[in-house]
Amino acid sequence: MTTPLRSDSSADASTGSRLVTPAQAWYAVAILTIANVSGFVDRQILNLLVRPIKRDLHVTDTEVSLLMGLSFVVFYSLLGLPIGRWIDRGHRPRIVALGAAVWSVMTMLTGTARSYAHLFIARVGVGAGEATLGPAAVSIIAEQFPRKKLGVAMSTYMMGTFLGSGVAYALSAFVVGRVDRPGLVHVPIVGDVFPWQLVFFYVGLPGLIVALLALTIREPRTLGTRMLRDEVSAKVPFADVWRYMRANARTIGALSFGFACSASVNYGVGAWLASFLIRTHEFTEVRAGLLIGVLTATLGPLGVVLGGRLTDALSKRGYIDAPLRVGMIGGLGMLIFAGLYPLVPSAIFAAALLVPVNIFAAMPWGAANAAIAEAMPPRMRGQGSAVYQLVVNLMSGILGPTAVALLTDKVFRDPLALRYSLSLSAVVGMTLALALLAWGRPAFRVTVQRLRDAGTNETAAAR
């Protein structure tokens, strides 16, 4: 039996956790979770509209996959680095509010697109707005919770991902029958649009309320001592962040690329699951949307909470690499069940296998955010999280949906072969994820222990 590495149980992972009350900290998590729900509704709503989009814009599976992935993640990822610098020294709740307003307006502008190119550009704008949320949320939450509670806090925030996806599918299922028809409808001021574009107006407008709610979050930096305010407001050059990441290349690389491979599988499944059910098992869009919505909205949060509690439990037992262990457990479950569900002949059996798929897919994501927060010094968390999300989002957003589509279009050359594309991409992606996370565990333990020792020494010196 392997003895876990032990860490100083008294050291707090975050100075910021002493600067806010528990109620203030959990209020921030609640608002950020609502923002995450809103963002994922706007992001995922496209996935159940594949058939009317293909019909009205005359595009292929591969072109639709670029709307799902490339159009969104380009600015989402590339803007992450400058936004990360802004987050490390700016007023983070205001940054979140501005981002929510941008992605909501751009979602509604998606409803005005007249062509594939216009739709693509609008999706780029949605990604640009949502680029603010992830790094800001990770930075805010990590600063307000001690490390032994960080897993549950991050997991609560990540529940928004799955609640948002579930709401998007359920909402699509409710309205798709009303909007999936040929022809045009007239919208005052906007003019004539395709009926399915009305959905983007429905889901974009509530995001403006989220922007206002974000302004009610207290900025922890304004609550601290002069020393802390001076420390976090100091500009950390990206060259210093890059130097730190190069010095810890195995840790940061394994986290970024390991979780990126895992996210690629999740993104591919999320993008094409409805189409798989429709093509292979002859579901209607309404039935597919309801099934996916219910599974995602109920089992996704369950998986996130289980992952967060498991991370915290392992951390309390002294396992410094707890987040990576949880990531590997989720990856192993996905390797088995995500590789299997597309191949079974029965729709009922496939739906049953989607239960563990949803749980294991969700397990690692609170752990993943906790891992990158623990692996970066506090003043570099915004930029470090942005680099991590750059890798994860570019890989998963582009490779996830597009790899499945390319396998279907170019390798199997049959829309009904989507099932084989989903299975193959899941097995390959999760195998790579497991290998990378296993490779990074020893380095992660060293990196985190070094930061904890440095933090303990700085606290003692300040006293």
* Average pLDDT per block of 10 residues along the chain, 463 residues long: 35 48 88 88 77 82 78 72 78 92 91 85 87 84 78 78 76 69 75 81 89 90 48 67 93 94 91 90 85 88 87 87 93 96 94 95 84 87 81 84 88 90 95 96 92 62 43
The distance from CA 96 to its chain's CA centroid, rounded to whole angstroms, is 15
Q: How far is CA 372 from CA 156, 168, 375, 380, 450, in A?
A: 16, 28, 5, 11, 14
Q: Which phi and psi angles does 9 have, rounded to 5°?
A: -75, -15
Task: Say what the pLDDT of residue 176 is.
Answer: 66
**319 Cβ contact list (under 8 Å, min separation 6):** 4, 5, 325
The answer to whether 53 touches 64, Cβ cutoff 8 Å, is yes
Sketch out the chain's domains with CATH numbers: 15-462 (1.20.1250.20)
The answer to whether 397 touches 70, Cβ cutoff 8 Å, is yes
Task: Say what the pLDDT of residue 99 is.
Answer: 92
3-state secondary structure the chain: CCCCCCCCCCCCCCHHHHCCCHHHHHHHHHHHHHHHHHHHHHHHHHHHHHHHHHHHHCCCHHHHHHHHCHHHHHHHHHCHHHHHHHHHHCCHHHHHHHHHHHHHHHHHHHCCCCCHHHHHHHHHHHHHHHCCHHHHHHHHHHHHCCHHHHHHHHHHHHHHHHHHHHHHHHHHHHHHHHHCCCCCEEECCCEEECHHHHHHHHHHCHHHHHHHHHCCCCCHHHHCCHHHHHHHHCCCCHHHHHHHHHHCHHHHHHHHHHHHHHHHHHHHHHHHHHHHHHHHHCCCHHHHHHHHHHHHHHHHHHHHHHHHHHHHHHHHCCCCCHHHHHHHHHHHHHHHHHHHHHHCCCHHHHHHHHHHHHHHHHCHHHHHHHHHHHHCCHHHHHHHHHHHHHHHHHHHHHHHHHHHHHHHHHHHCCHHHHHHHHHHHHHHHHHHHHHHHHHHHHHHHHHHHHHHHHHHHHHHHHC
Task: Say what the pLDDT of residue 226 is.
Answer: 42
Task: Say what the pLDDT of residue 331 is.
Answer: 95
Task: Say what the pLDDT of residue 212 is.
Answer: 95
Give me the half-sphere count of Cα atoms (radius 13 Å) on the Cβ side of residue 317: 13
| Pick from 250, 310, 309: nearest CA to 438 | 250
Task: Say what the pLDDT of residue 58 is.
Answer: 84
| Pick from 442, 444, 443, 412: nearest CA to 425 | 412
Angle subtended by helix axes 22-44 and 147-179, to nearest 10: 30
Tokens of 348: 């009922």
